């Protein structure tokens, strides 16, 4: 076990940032509500010493520090509430659909489902998926490895497998056919077409997680307004159980089982990234065929046979695990290995 490589560190950083953002957005929304109702000071007094109060307090301080410094008028300072309110509106949504400083970012699966269910395509939908689709075509399943908050949670909960090993319980290495997720995707879209309901939106873990976090935070603040301060699990619903079930099954029976074989969103990103430009490329002359990459790969792929195809999510775990510096992220149109004997690290 050595120190994590820069690639993995930055990936963890991005994942953590995304998770923090989708926890922050409902708090920001609440903050905006209180600010526009001119209730913030009263609310801060009332929530003193509770989780909700602390959340609002820190949000307030950060926003005032970043976007809305106090206005100096002669001798007295005035708070710049209008600017703070405008700033708090810049971040909205979850990974299912996010609005980042006016730029709409929608999950392609959401757009697909909406189009299938309503049997029509609206311009806003296309505008929303432009950036995610373009990035996925270039970078492949980067959403799954760099952004998806559930993927992050599952990777972290997968660390518990080593605890199982310590307890001398052998965690399973179950495999399901990769194609299951495409079947699930087609089935879900067909059901959407048939019943006019975004069926996969109720099954797709990142969407569920965003909804759960939104509901949880909202209910926490609602209860705080009634005087019930502190954490509450009341806002969590069936979806939380479902996410927990996935995590437990993966810990016991196989790491990243859902992402590999069942996730309908992963299927969409796989299909989009079929001809991606950024790939893990093996240098055939450096590789000693030790097999460390195949063990490290959470998608259960083997980089040594140069056939990762569209299932690879460019997470770079194989690159970090390689002891011979034989794997690199390169701009390439296919998986065939290259000779890199002449090059050295850093060139």
Partner 1 sequence: MVEANEPLPRRKFLTRIGRTGVRVAAAGGLLYGVQSMFSRPPALRPVEEARMGILRPPGALAEESFLQACIRCELCAQACDTACIKLFGPWEGKLAGSPYIAAADRACNLCLQCTEVCPSGALGELFAKTEVRMGTAVVDERLCVSHNGTGACGACHTICPLRNKAITQGLFNKPTVHPEHCVGCGLCEEACIVHERKAIQVSSGRSWS
Least separation in angstroms between residue 100's CB and partner 1 is 12
Of 9-17, 73-81, 213-221, 282-290: span binding partner 1 (CB under 8 A): 213-221
User: Which of 290, 286, 294 lies closest to 342, judged by CA?
Assistant: 286
Least separation in angstroms between residue 82's CB and partner 1 is 13
The span from the first CA to the last CA of the chain, in angstroms, equals: 27
CA 58-61-64 angle, to 5 degrees, is 145
Q: Assess contact for 336 and 285: CB atoms under 8 A.
A: no
Q: According to CB under 8 A, which one of 147, 189, 224, 239 is a site residue for partner 1?
A: 239
245 binds partner 1 (CB under 8 A): yes
230 binds partner 1 (CB under 8 A): no
Q: According to CB under 8 A, which one of 79, 133, 202, 253 is a site residue for partner 1?
A: 202
Structure tokens at 291: 């097999």
Q: According to CB under 8 A, which one of 12, 211, 223, 330 is a site residue for partner 1?
A: 211
How far apart (Å, rounded) are the C-alpha atoms in residues 181 and 334?
A: 23
Which parts of 108-137 interact with partner 1 (CB under 8 A)? Answer: 110-111, 113-114, 117-120, 122-125, 128
Q: Find the DSSP H helices in 233-283.
A: 238-253, 257-261, 264-272
Task: Say which residues have a Cβ less than 8 Å from residue 269's Cβ, sequence separation at least 6.
Answer: 108, 136, 140, 141, 142, 143, 144, 313
157 binds partner 1 (CB under 8 A): no
Q: According to CB under 8 A, which one of 207, 224, 267, 340 is a site residue for partner 1?
A: 207
Q: According to CB under 8 A, which one of 11, 30, 161, 256 is a site residue for partner 1?
A: 30
User: Which of 246, 81, 89, 96 lies closest to 176, judged by CA?
Assistant: 246
Of residues 175 and 289, the one with the C-beta less far from partner 1: 175
80 binds partner 1 (CB under 8 A): no
Tell me the helices (H) and strands (E) count for the chain, helix number first. Answer: 16, 7
Q: Please report where in the chains the tokens 């991606």 appear, as a residue.
A: 276
How far apart (Å, rounded) are the C-alpha atoms in residues 93 and 106?
A: 10
318 binds partner 1 (CB under 8 A): no
Which residue ranges make up the site for partner 1 (CB under 8 A)? 25-26, 28-30, 32-33, 36-37, 89, 92-94, 96-97, 99, 104, 106, 110-111, 113-114, 117-120, 122-125, 128, 175-180, 183-184, 187, 196-198, 201-202, 207, 210-211, 214-215, 218, 237-239, 241-242, 245, 305, 307, 309, 311
């Amino acid at each position: 076990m050595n120190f994590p490589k820069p690639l993995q560190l930055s990936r963890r950083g991005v994942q953590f940032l995304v998770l923090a953002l989708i926890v922050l957005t409902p708090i920001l929304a609440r903050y905006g509500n209180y600010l526009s109702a001119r209730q913030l000071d009263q609310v801060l007094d009332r929530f003193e010493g509770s989780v909700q109060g602390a959340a609002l307090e820190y949000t307030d301080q950060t926003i005032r520090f970043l976007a809305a410094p106090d206005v100096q008028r002669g001798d007295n300072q005035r708070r710049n509430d209008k600017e703070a309110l405008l700033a708090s509106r810049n971040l909205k949504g979850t990974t299912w659909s996010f609005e980042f400083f006016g730029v709409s970012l929608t999950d392609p699966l959401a757009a697909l489902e909406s189009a299938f269910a309503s049997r029509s395509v609206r311009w806003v939908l296309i505008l929303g998926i432009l950036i995610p689709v373009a990035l996925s075509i270039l970078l492949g399943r980067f959403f799954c490895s760099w952004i998806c908050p559930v993927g992050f949670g599952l990777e972290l909960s997968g660390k518990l497998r080593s605890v199982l090993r310590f307890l001398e319980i052998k965690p399973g290495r179950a495999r399901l056919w990769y194609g299951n997720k495409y079947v699930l995707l087609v089935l879900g879209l067909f059901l959407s077409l048939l019943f006019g309901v975004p069926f996969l939106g109720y099954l797709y873990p990142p969407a569920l997680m965003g909804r759960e976090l939104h509901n949880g935070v909202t209910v926490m603040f609602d209860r705080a307004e009634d005087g019930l301060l502190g954490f509450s699990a009341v806002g969590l619903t069936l979806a939380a159980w479902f996410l927990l079930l996935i995590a437990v099954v993966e810990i016991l029976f196989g790491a990243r089982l859902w992402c590999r074989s069942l996730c309908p969103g992963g299927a969409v990103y796989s299909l989009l990234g079929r001809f991606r430009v950024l790939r893990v490329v093996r240098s055939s002359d450096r590789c000693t065929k030790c097999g460390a990459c195949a063990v490290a790969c959470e998608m259960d792929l083997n980089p040594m046979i140069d056939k990762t195809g569209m299932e690879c999510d460019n997470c770079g775990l194989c690159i970090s695990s390689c002891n011979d510096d034989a794997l690199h992220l390169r701009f390439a149109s296919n998986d065939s290995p290259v000779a890199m004997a002449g090059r050295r690290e850093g060139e």
